[in-house]
Amino acid sequence: SLPMAAPNPKLIILGLGAAVSTAEELEEFFSAFGTVVHAELMYDGMGTPRGFGFVTFDCPETAEFVLTQHASEPLSINGKQIDPKPAVPKGQMVHPARPMPALMPASRGYVQQDPRRTPNGPARVFVARVPYCTTESELRSHFGRFGVIQDCYQPKDYKTQAPRGIAFLTFTETRAVDSVMATTHELNGSVVVVDRAAPKKEEAEGDYVPTPPMM
């Protein structure tokens, strides 16, 4: 599965149940993915955990990485499977999740049509299964054939500083991403997975409101 886009560094963590009783437990768990700047567990009027909380990372890419990991292998805390989702900025409407569009065969020359595709301007791609030995210059060299790369980011493990095997590339034009999506890619002998990523946005001002948990 490919990741759900996380346009901001804040996630709402649903499905905690009684598995987590303090914000410190949330922070400790998610610190394995990157720098946690704030963790919050929600309680009812009696001081009982409500089964969900919030985690804010130092950058949107870390939140996106958490969602990617969860999509490939559901995350669990203390044996309880959880459900992390992007936190919705207050004032924005909450729409039902849309299924990801199917990838069309590259051999037939089709280009994936996606709601995240913008008509003009910068556009990003998410690259997964990147060999750990791959450098930024190698990424730029390979994908630079498709267009001008504005930014290249390879997240590292917060504790070990080892590469996580993923990357985000921002091109100056959307058509470069169209070209990238129309073919398969191999880096250092391994086929990598490429998908469109949400464009970088300035973090919305104000508080965040969660999507109401499903009862």
pLDDT tens sequence across 39-56: 999 988 888 888 999 999
Query: Taking the model in full, what pTM does it have?
Result: 0.45
Question: Are the C-beta atoms of residues 15 and 83 closer than 8 Å to each other?
Answer: yes
Report percent pLDDT > 70 for the chain: 72
pLDDT, tens only, 118-142: 445 678 888 888 988 999 999 999 9
Which amino acid does the sequence have at 134? T
Contacts of 193 (CB under 8 A, 6+ apart): 2, 127, 128, 129
